[in-house]
Amino acid sequence: MRRATIFLLTILAMSSFSFAQEKQEFEFYIPSPDTLFVLPGEAWFLQHGVGSTNSESEIISLRANLFVGELNQFGDHEIWWQTHEMGRPDWQLYDGSVYLSEDYYRHQYNWLANTSSSGLNFLYLVNLSATNNLPVGQVVNYYLNVEIGTQKFQSFYPCLTRTLLSIDGIRGDVNADGTVDENDVEALAYYSSSLEFYGRYSQGFNYGRGMILFNCPDIISTALVNIWVHNPNDLLVQGLEIGELMSGRLTNSVQLASISSALNGEKLTVYTDGNVVNITTIMPDGKLWQKTEIVTNGQLTVDVPDEKLNYKIEAVKLEGLTLTSVQDLKNMNAVPTEFSLSQNYPNPFNPSTTISFSLPVSANVDLKVYNVAGQVIKTLMAGQLNAGSHQIQWDGTDVNGNNAPSGVYFYKLQAGEFNQTCRMQLLK
């Protein structure tokens, strides 16, 4: 078996993303910008891997050094390296063996292929996570140096610097336009349904601003933001500080609950005196796995994807939140998959009725009421609406505010290329 010689790279004077004076054969896989902006109390996560840009240059030996001195400022920070594939034992990874060592300032990872023919084009390396407890404006840096040996007995030295900056933000304002509105609800609903963890920090969005109950966004928190947008005086959202600066939170109506747990294979049981539990982990491919559930009788059991993964469990007590309301909240977040127009209710009606329709995407909406002669009686909606389920009431009056006569009417919805007409009857 041929083994490449690995040299320790100790020079830390580097650019944010640079290589030694050699052909660029390998590059980091980092689904985040050079600077990660983290909010007060936010749980953040970063995953790093390295891959070959040349299919003929395979990795047969690798040593990674993560210099973590500044990361120690995060009191609960965690560092874990990939040491196994799902369903396989530790230390045997991708037909190779893993060795770890660490001290206060540096964590070192070594991987060596079993044979020169079992090289890799890509290897996940290290995962980092913590909850941001830093003052707004404080900066933390860390460094990752990797030495790669190939089948050609060449050595390559990818080097990386990453920066974390503690920032402030308005709770619920994920698109950072200064207000919390339906655009934020739509974005959070997408995030909660797709669990695109990396998208939290891209394209002007930081979904961390949507964390209400826990230190990461969840499906119930999304619905709470939706309630606040439509009625900030609703008792369920009082004290949650939606629409306020996150750094200003001094008290919280959400009480933290006690937690204990037991993992039996792929069954995780949580014991708590709270009524809402959030369970998260990061999968080996870097995707977020999350469960947010109501708790009854102080106990909750869920199926988890892998007993060897680390699971973060949070629990809170939220007054007024019941099993029924949680299901209603989840239903409220559901984004429709197609355009639809429902039959008005009640029908026949007197004096008013409600018309419901669904939009899978944001669209310009035109909703009109016609009489049997095809004349427009009233325009109920004309403008842009976000994706979601909508309800509009017709009070039985015409464009001038006069009561329409009894009889048969039609209402027509046009949204983009979609249009549909339904019949209704007004009784006197």
Going from N- to C-terminal start, the domains of the chain cover: 17-166, 182-248, 255-317, 340-426
Fold of the domain built from segment(s) 340-426: Immunoglobulin-like (2.60.40)
The predicted structure's pLDDT at residue 325 = 58
Same fold, 17-166 and 340-426: yes
CB atoms within 10 A of CB 419: 12
CB atoms within 10 A of CB 260: 9
Half-sphere exposure in the Cβ direction for 186 (13 Å, CA): 16
Q: Which CATH number, 2.60.40.680, 3.10.20.30, 3.40.50.1240, 3.40.50.620, labels domain 17-166?
A: 2.60.40.680
Fold of the domain built from segment(s) 255-317: Immunoglobulin-like (2.60.40)
Q: What is the pLDDT along the chain (428 residues), one digit of tens a residue?
A: 333 332 222 222 222 333 333 446 788 776 556 788 888 888 888 878 888 887 778 888 999 999 988 888 988 888 888 887 656 667 777 888 899 998 878 999 999 988 878 888 888 888 888 888 899 999 999 999 999 988 777 788 888 888 888 989 899 998 888 999 888 887 787 766 655 444 455 445 777 888 888 877 888 888 888 888 888 888 788 888 899 998 876 555 578 899 999 999 999 999 999 888 999 887 776 677 888 888 888 999 999 998 888 888 999 888 766 655 555 665 555 567 789 998 988 888 888 888 888 888 778 999 999 999 899 999 999 988 877 778 888 999 999 989 999 999 999 999 988 999 999 999 87
Distances (CA, A) of 21 to 8, 15, 18, 188, 264: 16, 13, 9, 44, 51
**Bridge pairing between strands 159-166 and 35-38:** parallel
- Whether this prediction's pTM lies above 0.75 is answered by no
The predicted structure's pLDDT at residue 335 = 62
Distance CA 293, CA 275 (A): 8
**What tokens does 71 get?**
């990361």
The predicted structure's pLDDT at residue 367 = 95
Distances (CA, A) of 351 to 344, 375, 378, 421, 426: 13, 20, 15, 21, 8
**What tokens does 240 get?**
């949650």
